[in-house]
Amino acid sequence: MLAALCGVSISLSVCCSESQDPIQLAITIDDLPWVGAPPVDGTVVDAVGRIATTLNVHGVPATGMVVCDSARRHPGVVERWVDAGLSVANHTQSHRDLHGSDTSRWLDEMLQCHQTLKRLGSAYLPLLRFPLLHQGLGEAQHRTVRRALAAAQIRVAPVSVDTSEWLIAAAYPAAAGRASDRLRAGRMLSAHVLAALDHADRFARERFGRRPAQILLLHANALLDDHLDRLLLDLREHGV
């Protein structure tokens, strides 16, 4: 079952083992075009193309959260993502942490990326994913940012399944040279994401008495490039 959630593409309908009632899962990929160690094979543009192709093969839409400075260093990469029929949203100009930043400077950077992405037309969803998920240090900063977002008609892209797969990704370059270690890392990624999804699902049902849609946060990195296919298969096998 496919639907829309807060303007973010809903990608999978997952039936967890505890119930046959499906939950809807949105795939969002932060730090597009890339974060961390270089791809194991080819360039960043090649790797992002592989990620997009894998999503298309599985029939899974996704939203890439673009860091505009990073995109400028890899010309054509965001266009390749969009040409694959995938959407993008704002992850700010430089991935500056709002906490500890001058609010005006942070907002200027966020709006600069917003204006850049608007050129992509309907592929751009006017959503903001806060770097590090930090939404304001103190009530005054939080309120100022929310007012600016409302004025620009930008909504916040929430997360309900926040994984720590970036920790696996950080160690992945050391494992990538051995086939057995690469496979092990892929299994670790799937196990971690499935556990995080189950945790979020249990919490939501206990808290709200129902099974709401979930939004998964992943990152554009070498780990995902190598193992997204396996992860999507494992999500399906988890009960789609």
153: three-class secondary structure by DSSP: coil
**Domain annotation covers residue 17:** no
Instruction: Give residue 7's pLDDT.
Output: 39
Q: What is the mean pLDDT of the chain?
A: 92
Q: Is 199 a domain residue?
A: yes
pLDDT (0 to 100) of residue 23 = 77
* Contact assessment for residue 103 and residue 145, using Cβ atoms and an 8 Å cutoff: yes
In a domain, 120, yes or no: yes
3-state SS, residue 25: strand
Residue 238 inside a domain? The answer is no
Q: Which domain covers residue 109, as residue numbers? A: 4-12+25-231
- Whose CA is closest to 27, among 17, 36, 14, 18? 14
On whether residue 56 sits in a domain, the answer given is yes
Q: What is the pLDDT of residue 196?
A: 97
Query: Does 218 reside within a domain?
Result: yes
Query: Is 54 inside a domain boundary?
Result: yes
- Measured CA to CA in angstroms, residue 199 lies from 24, 157, 206, 213 at distances of 15, 20, 11, 13
Q: What is the pLDDT of residue 188?
A: 98
CA distance 226 to 1: 27
- The mean pLDDT of 154-181, rounded to a whole number, is 94
Number of domains in the chain: 1
CATH number at residue 76: 3.20.20.370
**Residues 170-188: tens digit of each pLDDT:** 999 998 889 999 999 999 9
- Written as six digits, the tokens of 98 are 């709002």
Q: Where are the beta strands (DSSP E) in 150-213?
A: 155-156, 161-162
Question: Is residue 180 a part of any domain in this protein?
Answer: yes
Averaged pLDDT, 28-47 = 97
Confidence of residue 12 (pLDDT cuts 50, 70, 90): low
What is the reported pLDDT for 90? 99
pTM of the entire predicted model: 0.90
Using one digit for the tens of pLDDT, what is the confidence trace for 62-118? 999 999 999 999 999 999 999 999 999 999 999 999 999 999 999 999 999 999 999
pLDDT of 10 reads: 39
